[in-house]
Structure 1
Amino acid sequence: MTDYIIRANAAQSQILAFAATTRELVEHARHIHGTSPVATAALGRLLTAGLMMGNMMKGEKDLVTLQIKGSGPIGGLTVTADSKGTVKGYAHHPEIIIPANDKGKLDVGGAIGAGVLTVIKDLGLREPYTGQTHLVSGEIAEDLTYYFVTSEQVPSSVALGVLMNKDNTVRRAGGFIIQLMPFASEEVIDHLEKKIGEIDSITKLLDKEMTPEMILEYILGELGLEITGKFPASFECNCSKKRVEKAIISIGQKDIQEMIDDNETIEVNCHFCSKHYNFTVEELKDILSKAARS
């Protein structure tokens, strides 16, 4: 199944909903970053959330960045998504391995620990919007639910899941975000809370091969679900040697000169996609001259 996101509303637009299937892009992230199972689960959840939150934005150049910094061994996670269904991200320590939690499942909360969730929205304005909340569990879905209520004042239900195969490849990945509009009636709120309370776990729904449409139909079908859009989703990084060159220019002439004095080719790695870019001494000299003119 190719990854995609759907948007929908229900109860005569009293509810706004998003759902996504993301197995392929999470598996791609696992492959390029060499993530352990628990790091794959953590990063996969945040990639899925980032995709849906990116789809909430309207501008073609709008970007949303989700950053988690925690006291646990994974250190942190960073994900950036746009409004067109592309996402990229990485874990600070992708190799970490920790014991399963008391339910016998991958301990994402233990890997992340106590910390902070930061959401940065670049909407093309002079300053990006930044919201920040403390992590309530480190399990990511609960943390985003708390973020939406406290920072954006939008009551939301967030569910994110990544299920692994025994060979540590990704079996299923996906999730949903369901939001109540300010004018939602008590009857609609009660119905939604009851239905969501019946869901044991998102991974069980995903492992039944339920599509995003089927998941939202299961939750919102009785409230007049209307699918309003379907969008492809993929892991894509827009890094290039030219962009990396600009980053080197930004570090300053003194540091560039020190690289030249070492008289060795340097290698720069992209955090998001793990691509390697090499710059020879001659290229560094050219970059230095550009830095001097800028």
Structure 2
Amino acid sequence: MKDELVKALALDGHVRIYIARTTDMVQEARDRFDMGPIATDALGRTLSVASIMGGMLKSDKEMLTISINGHGPIGSITVDAYSNGNVRGFVSDPHVDAPSVAQAVGTEGTLTVIKDLNMVENFTGTVELQSGQIGEDFTYYFTLSEQTPSAVSVGVSTDANGKVEAAGALVLQMMPDATDTDIRIVEHVVEGLKPMSTIIKEYGDTDMSQLARDLFEDAQVLETTDIHFSCPCSKERTKGILMTLSKDEIQQMIDDDAGCEVTCNFCNEHYQFTKDELEAILEEMNA
């Protein structure tokens, strides 16, 4: 069972369908940050919708960043998504203790999407959080900020040991030429949906394009893409970040610690730099 993103059309092209199975990527995020079940659920839901939103981008030069902060105990949720559906992300408190995702996230805040469309200025859309449940908040975002009536279903299921059993998301979007009949059909489909994590479990190893066909008889699958938790960080890129520090700061790392460790916030990868490597960076800066 591999993670995948499916894009399809239905009802004579009046409805766009996006389906993401994200079990492995959510498990990787859970493992990288040693997250508890509520943090895994909250971040997993956001990663799942973000993968779909990344897949909506037009060019591989584009990306987007999602930031959710409802001033709840989990703090902020930050996720980057790319046009191939790959994502990376983290939460402020990976070990948050709360009864539910909504109570962990809170509702006294906003959901913000910043799209880097490779233009002079980025597109930014911000909406007030509606429930902190993630799915409902993205439904509100699509409808208000992007003026695209949408239905969003998202879910993450973990077992007693914290292992991710199933994760995924479904987004249905009405096209501008959708009729009243199309809208009623979509509403009927949404009303009959099982929880998304249950759907992912039931389909098992089945290609998720089958779900599109099961939801709509005339569904036409446009594309199926493998998706992953993926971070473009590297030691070379981290070196570039170190070179933005002052020479005095680099020298202090050499004198005080004989090296340093840099951790990527987005994937928790650790990069070690020895005293000799820092001295080489300092020489490069002096040159």
TM tier, shorter chain?
Answer: over 0.9
Question: Is 1:50 aligned to residue 50 of structure 2?
Answer: yes
Distance 1:25 1:251 in 2: 33
Question: Structure 1 pair 148/167, CA: closer, same or farther in 2 (3 Å)?
Answer: same
Structure 1 residues not aligned, in runs of 5+: 100-106
TM-score by length of 2: 0.93
Q: For residue 113 of structure 1, what is the aligned residue in structure 2?
A: 106
Q: For residue 178 of structure 1, what is the aligned residue in structure 2?
A: 172
Name the amino acid aligned to 1:136.
Q
Q: How does 1:80-99 map to 2 (within 5 A)?
A: 80-99=80-99
Give the drift of 1:215. Answer: 2.9
Question: Is 1:242 aligned to residue 236 of structure 2?
Answer: yes
Q: Would you identify which runs of 4 or more consecutive aligned residues in structure 1 move more than 4 Å?
A: none
**Percentage identity across paired residues of the two chains:** 37
Distance 2:210 2:75 in 1: 35
Give the drift of 1:242. Answer: 1.1
Q: May I ask how many residue pairs the two structures share in their alignment?
A: 284
* Matched residue SS, 1:88: strand
Distance 1:146 1:195 in 2: 19
RMSD: 1.7
Equivalent residue for 1:287, pick from 278, 281, 284? 281
* Matched residue SS, 2:250: helix
Question: Is 1:205 aligned to residue 203 of structure 2?
Answer: no
Offset from partner CA, 1:126-178 (integer Å, 9 cap, x none): 22211111111111111111111111100011111101112210011111111
The question of whether the paired residues in 1 share the 8 Å contact of 2:166 and 2:198 is answered with: no
Question: Structure 1 pair 213/263, CA: closer, same or farther in 2 (3 Å)?
Answer: closer
Q: For residue 210 of structure 2, what is the aligned residue in structure 1?
A: 214
Offset from partner CA, 1:59-90 (integer Å, 9 cap, x none): 11211111112211111111111111321111
Q: How does 1:14-29 map to 2 (within 5 A)?
A: 14-29=14-29
Distance 1:38 1:110 in 2: 10
Q: How does 1:1-294 map to 2 (within 5 A)?
A: 1-99=1-99, 107-114=100-107, 115-209=109-203, 211=206, 212-221=208-217, 224-291=218-285
